Structure 1
Amino acid sequence: MHTQKVWDIPVRVCHWGFVLIIIFQYLSGEILDDNILPNTMQWHFYAGYTCIALVIFRLCWGIFGTYYSQFSQFVTSPITTFQYLRNKRSFSQFLGHNPAGAYSIIVLLTLILTQALSGLFISDEVFSDGLYYGVLGNRAQDIANFLHHNVFTLLLGFIALHILAISYHKIVLKEGLTKAMITGKKKVSRTDVAVSPYSSAIFPWAGLLISLLITAIAMYLILEVLPPPPSDDFFMY
């Protein structure tokens, strides 16, 4: 057995950032109020914006990032994934994300982005409106409301499956995935690794800069350029 560097800092920051934001969004949306956290809904919006930024960055990093962070390295065909699931011996042969884990990541990112973006178009019908509230027609508005209030339940279900998979790897396969996502390193057998090892000495700083730049530009457009001007709500006497 030896220790191998797998997960870089950007991947780990995104992973744990999603964990913290999803927990906070649940608390701020279902439990907290202004008596506990002043301007709770505003913080809920801020966390949603951060979530969108993390998704955009992770998508960029999946193209420009380190070897094991790239989608081209771990996303495989459905047939390959099915064969992987049938062959238990293959479970330890992937140093990075395995084929099933790859599809899990795609689903989770899609649900998180859908949840966050739909929040831009809805209102709590009391004090707070999303940046794009009122832009959509009635039917599209109803769809945005439906998505924001129901996708989160689906997201929680997939998170539960994700935790079960991590538990299986820990208990049955004796593989500490959680610890690896904290330290960035995995303990592996040289005979188990079926892919080229990632050299921590080679870090794509240009890729990091590009990913950050794309994320910054996208968020500037989403938050500052594209939103319609706020409506002037007032009463005429």
Structure 2
Amino acid sequence: MAGDRHLLWDLPTRLCHWLLVACVALAWWSGETENYDLHQWLGYSVIVLVASRISWGFIGSPHSRFADFLVGPGRLLAYLQGERARSAGHNPLGGWSVIALLLLLLLQAISGLFNSDDVFFKGPLFYAADVTVRDVMGQVHEVAFYLLLALVGLHILAVLYHQFWRREPLLQAMVRGSASGREGRSAPVSGWRALLIALVWALALWGLLQLAPAPPPMMW
């Protein structure tokens, strides 16, 4: 019914958001401490989470769908010039930053599948590529990391600006699902759909990794 209040961010969207936050932080720590087994599993998790979130952007709850908050250049420019955002969720600039973050995370995680520390650790797709592809993927993994750091930093600054300067309860809405002035206009869909999507992507990734060539036998 028109005027009913609903969750702005459904549970799958919030879980995906905070799990990605945890995965990125732990991936940085595990890379710095050379805990590559954990680093690898975190990479798998990021791939499944991002792929699931992209799928949810098409068949998920109304306010989680990309069509709800992605706009063209004209409306983006109008927003930057002071026009009020029409979506109850992300504003036009925030919406495109979500896309950039998701794509960078996916690029970072996929490129890591081909990586090696040149000593003990080799990614699961290391032997599926030639030397040139491995080198390119290694460079992509490094560059994407710094781009991701910059974008995450900008994202945090933007959230703090809207949270404390403009008094918009973004953090409360991303924790509880809604907050004063941050309610949804449409009811969310069942969370079971999101679980099924995540399971499908996890199985697809597992199947891909099973097809990866085995390491060559050790020569003593």
TM-score if structure 1 supplies the norm length? 0.84
Tell me the residue number matched to 1:208: 194
Q: What letter is aligned with 1:82? A: L
Residue 124 (structure 2) pairs with residue 119 (structure 1): no
Taking the aligned partners of 1:45 and 1:73, their CA distance within structure 2 comes to: 34
Taking the aligned partners of 2:8 and 2:78, their CA distance within structure 1 comes to: 24
1:166 to 131, 135, 159: 159
- Give the aligned CA root-mean-square deviation in angstroms: 2.1
Tell me the residue number matched to 1:100: 93
TM-score if structure 2 supplies the norm length? 0.90
Taking the aligned partners of 1:205 and 1:165, their CA distance within structure 2 comes to: 29
1:231 to 202, 216, 220: 216
Taking the aligned partners of 1:186 and 1:95, their CA distance within structure 2 comes to: 12
Q: What letter is aligned with 1:134? A: Y
Q: What letter is aligned with 1:74? A: F
Over residues 189-229 of structure 1, what are the superposed CA-to-partner deviations in whole Å (9 max), with x where a residue is unaligned? Answer: 8xxx9xx70225xx2457435523431332222322x3112
Taking the aligned partners of 2:160 and 2:198, their CA distance within structure 1 comes to: 33
Cα drift, residue 172 of structure 1: 2.4
Q: Which moved more, 1:50-59 or 1:164-173?
A: 164-173
Q: Secondary structure at the match of 2:179?
A: strand
Cα drift, residue 182 of structure 1: 0.6
Tell me the residue number matched to 1:78: 73
Over residues 25-60 of structure 1, what are the superposed CA-to-partner deviations in whole Å (9 max), with x where a residue is unaligned? Answer: 111111x25xxxxxx211110111111010111111
Taking the aligned partners of 1:206 and 1:216, their CA distance within structure 2 comes to: 15
- Identity between Structure 1 and Structure 2 (%): 35
Cα drift, residue 230 of structure 1: 2.6
8 A Cα contact 1:51 1:113, kept in partner: yes
8 A Cα contact 1:4 1:187, kept in partner: no
Tell me the residue number matched to 2:58: 63
In structure 2, do the counterparts of structure 1 residues 213 and 28 end up closer, same or farther at CA, with 3 Å as the change threshold?
Answer: closer
Where does the alignment leave 5 or more consecutive residues of structure 2 unmatched? none
Over residues 87-133 of structure 1, what are the superposed CA-to-partner deviations in whole Å (9 max), with x where a residue is unaligned? Answer: 1x515x53111111111011001110111000101111111100110
Q: What letter is aligned with 2:123? A: G
Taking the aligned partners of 1:204 and 1:179, their CA distance within structure 2 comes to: 22
Q: What letter is aligned with 1:51? A: V
8 A Cα contact 1:64 1:208, kept in partner: no
Where does the alignment leave 5 or more consecutive residues of structure 1 unmatched? 34-39
8 A Cα contact 2:49 2:198, kept in partner: no
Taking the aligned partners of 1:69 and 1:126, their CA distance within structure 2 comes to: 43
Q: Secondary structure at the match of 1:134?
A: helix
8 A Cα contact 1:5 1:185, kept in partner: yes
Tell me the residue number matched to 1:90: 84
Residue 123 (structure 2) pairs with residue 130 (structure 1): yes
Paired residues, what number? 217
Moved over 4 A (4+): none
8 A Cα contact 2:30 2:36, kept in partner: yes
Instruction: Select the structure of larger CA radius of gyration.
Output: 1
Q: What letter is aligned with 1:214? A: V
Q: Secondary structure at the match of 1:221?
A: helix
